[in-house]
Amino acid sequence: MTAIPNPEPATFIIFGVTGDLSQRLLLPALYRLFSERAIPEGFAVVGVARKMLRNEGFRTFVRDAITRAYGGVDADAWQRFASRLYYAPGDFSGQGDHGPIALVVQQVEQQHRTGGNRVFYLATPPSTFEGILTTLHKMELVRPGRRNGAWNRVIIEKPFGQNEASSRQLNVLVDRVIGEENIFRIDHYLGKETVQNMLVLRFANTVFEPIWDRRYVDHVQITFVEEEGIGGRGRFYEEVGVVRDVVQNHMFQLLAITAMEPPAVFDAEGFRNEKAKVLRAIQPIRPEDAVRGQYGPGVIRGKPVPGYRQEEGISATSMTPTYAAMRLAIDNWRWAGVPFYLRAGKRLHKKDTEIVVVFRQPPLRLFKDFDTSGMDPNILVLNTTEEEKILLSFAARVPGHQQQIRSVALDFDYARFGPAEHPPYEHLLLDVLRGMRRFFPRRDEVELQWTIVDPLLEHWDASPPADFPNYPAGSQGPAAAEEFLIRDGRQWKTG
């Protein structure tokens, strides 16, 4: 058994610290890790944003964010955590002066004995990544390798680039300023319990792996839908749209884990090698194999909600898609001929993220005298929303004299282990401090993901839709997405 390395002391420098991501997820995650003593005492946070704040104002801001996330703070834990919070106003354009940031970081390192180890988190719009990295390098705040035994690590949020070309350009910059071994392209879905459990489900159980291929699987559905709209992220969402926001990263990573071969060694390179093989076997998406949509006004949970074009910061004529459905094919020995259907969207009737493996229906001539109208194919569902669970449906005879067969289900949820230990960001931030890169996509994975969607995005940009908005908020999405599967003799799983 390989020992898990201990997290090392470090200073966390968060760019975009006043943004939605930092408030909802990053700051609460760091607070809880620190309060549970999962990270060392040699630890501090430097927040960077355009707002003019002093340290005390920043600490009040952070306390409010943590209170919203957890309903309150522990007095002792908060006092210890607050004493490690600092603020430095900064510009993200790449033209600003990061000298004040460097000065604060150096002072914090001495005061809290972080050993010179630094984690830079770019929780900012994708358009700022290149400017921030360039300026950090110019100020010698980051560099490849170690400096006096200390390391620098950079965490970059998705999407990594806007297309394959910009992704490659950003990767060249990363190699120059910090090196591939120190970049952590974060995809929080890889920190989810159910996603990490997929590997155990497949490779630690004899009942699944022998039937996990084209001989037994009819098709696979991966769904990533939300009730929420864009919140206060209008500027960000207009830059990216649904494909860049969740399909090209979250969903392709889920697909790769679902379809990958067992790695020879379950280390970072072995795991990422197998994912890359899957992505390399996927052909670029053709326009006829995809559907796009944008939500209009509607009703969710009995309350009226605005359409996308009525959201703050969105043009009244915006053509940005908030929904996408597509069919992909993996051209390898395991999956040839098995379609993978992906759908993602905002302002739909419920929040649901799941992987659905639909197995082939066996011959039913043996049961020609039975009523099989309530019988579906065997289905394995891996749900990765807050109610993380695994469900397997199978056929059973209904008791009585009616000669009926109906589908029933076995299910497992993580509540059986008690409360979930850590949300995804806690897992992944801890991995960064440990230097563990297994659940962070590698350069070639990101570039391959872009090659799959680039032709589709280029076609959509060149052919604006005439029917936007084409689904009301609170619905199941555009009618064309339902028809898309019906043409293949299949249907989206509902419920």
What is the structure's pLDDT at 158? 85
Quick check: is 182 in a domain? no
- Are residue 208 and residue 265 in the same domain, yes or no? yes
Between CA 36 and CA 485 the distance in angstroms is 47
Residues 71 and 201 in one domain: no
Residues 407 and 347 occupy one common structural domain: yes
Which sign, positive or negative, has the C-alpha torsion 248, 251, 253, 255? Answer: negative
CA distance 457 to 388: 32
378: phi then psi, degrees, rounded to nearest 5: -60, 135
Within-domain flag for 391: yes
- pLDDT for the residue numbered 420: 57
Would you state the pLDDT for residue 1? 47
Q: Are residues 149 and 201 in the same domain?
A: no
Q: Helices 268-280 and 443-462, interaxial angle, to 10°?
A: 30
Domain boundary pick from 134, 157, 180: 157
- Whichever domain contains 79, its CATH number is 3.40.50.720
Count of domains for the chain = 2
The predicted-structure confidence for 77-127, as pLDDT tens digits, reads as follows 999 999 999 999 877 665 556 678 888 999 999 999 999 999 999 998 888
In this structure, the answer to whether residues 207 and 141 fall within a common structural domain is no
Beta-sheet strands, E only, within 31-104: 43-49, 85-89
Whether 2 maps to a domain, the answer reads no
Task: Report the phi/psi class of residue 244: left, alpha or beta, with left for phi > 0 and alpha for psi in -120 to 50.
Answer: alpha
Burial of 463 (0-12, 13-18, 19+ CB in 10 A): exposed
Whether 47 and 142 share a structural domain = yes
**256 in a structural domain:** yes
Could you write out the DSSP letters of every residue in 394-455? EEEEPSSSS-EEEEEEEEEEGGGG-S-S--HHHHHHHHHHHT--TTS--HHHHHHHHHHHHH
Of 114, 141, 157, the position where a domain reaches its end is 157
Domain edge (last residue) among 141, 157, 173:
157
- Label residue 157 left, alpha or beta by phi (over 0 means left) and psi (-120 to 50 means alpha): beta
DSSP 8-state assignment for residue 473: T
Catalytic site positions: 250
CA distance 222 to 357: 9
The answer to the question of residue 171 being in a domain is no
Residue 371 located in a structural domain: yes
Do 310 and 205 have their domain in common?
yes
pLDDT (tens, 9 = 90+) of the chain, 495 residues, equals 456 788 999 999 999 999 889 999 999 999 999 999 999 999 999 999 888 889 999 999 999 999 999 888 999 999 999 999 999 987 766 555 667 888 899 999 999 999 999 999 999 888 889 989 988 888 888 888 788 889 999 999 888 888 999 999 999 999 999 999 999 999 988 888 878 888 888 899 999 999 999 999 999 999 999 999 987 778 888 888 999 999 999 999 999 999 999 998 888 899 999 999 999 999 999 999 999 999 999 999 999 999 999 999 899 999 999 999 999 999 999 999 999 999 999 999 988 889 999 999 877 666 677 766 677 888 999 888 766 788 888 888 888 778 877 778 888 877 677 665 678 899 999 999 999 999 999 999 999 999 999 999 999 999 999 999 999 999 999 999 999 999 999 999 876
Q: Determine how β-strand 323-329 pairs with β-strand 290-293.
A: antiparallel
**Domain match, 246 and 138 both:** no
CATH of the domain at 448: 3.30.360.10
Do 195 and 143 fall into the same domain?
no
Question: Is 18 part of any domain?
Answer: yes
Same domain, 137 and 201: no
Residue 165 maps to a domain: no
* Residues 78 and 27 sit within 8 Å (Cβ to Cβ): no
Strand partners, 223: 343, 354
151 and 196 co-located in one domain? no
Collapse the DSSP code of 164 into the 3-class scheme (helix H, G, I; strand E, B; otherwise coil) and give the result.
Answer: helix
Question: Rounded to an integer, what distance in angstroms lies between the CA atom of residue 402 and that of residue 208?
Answer: 32
Q: Are residues 378 and 233 in the same domain?
A: yes
pLDDT of res. 384: 80
What is the C-alpha radius of gyration for the chain, rounded to an integer number of angstroms?
24
Query: What confidence score (pLDDT) does residue 373 get?
Result: 67
Phi/psi of residue 136, nearest 5 degrees: -60, -40
Residues 250-287 pLDDT 10s: 999 999 999 999 998 888 899 999 999 999 999 999 99
Beta-sheet pairing, 217-225 with 118-122: unpaired
* Cα(491)–Cα(372) distance, integer angstroms: 18
Q: What is the span of the domain harbouring residue 57?
A: 10-157
